[in-house]
Amino acid sequence: MVEVTQIKKIIVTGDRDVLLITLLNQLYTMQNISTKPKWEQLEVALQSLKIFLPLAAYMRLPEIEEELQTMCKAIIIPELSEDSSTSLITDFDLAFFKL
């Protein structure tokens, strides 16, 4: 998992290519996140919200920023996403709490 301090160190070195590759890697992860368990989706989405959305804004990449924001919102706050059928809790999650 990428930490804020690691991103700050890369920013200080001025290596925009490394920042772009890191950001695109996170975007790819978010685009393919549906195969992961819900808890991991939430963890990755929160990381994107905390680290990678500001990074996209810093790098002035509004398309990437908007796509990450839309995906994060769908995972973190599904009630506010465009697809109201998306639920953060699955039947499997509910069954786990009944044990």
User: In whole angstroms, how large is the CA radius of gyration of the chain?
Assistant: 15
Q: Which two tokens stand for residue 66?
A: 């908007």
pLDDT, one tens digit per residue, over 24-64 is 999 999 999 999 999 999 999 999 988 888 888 888 898 99
| pTM strictly above 0.75 | no
Backbone phi and psi for residue 20, each to the nearest 5 degrees, phi listed first = -65, -45
- The pLDDT score that the predictor gives to residue 20 is 93
User: Which residues are CB-contacts of 62 (< 8 A; sequence separation ≥ 6)?
Assistant: 56
Note whether 45 and 71 are within 8 A (CB): yes
Place of tokens 């195969």: 35
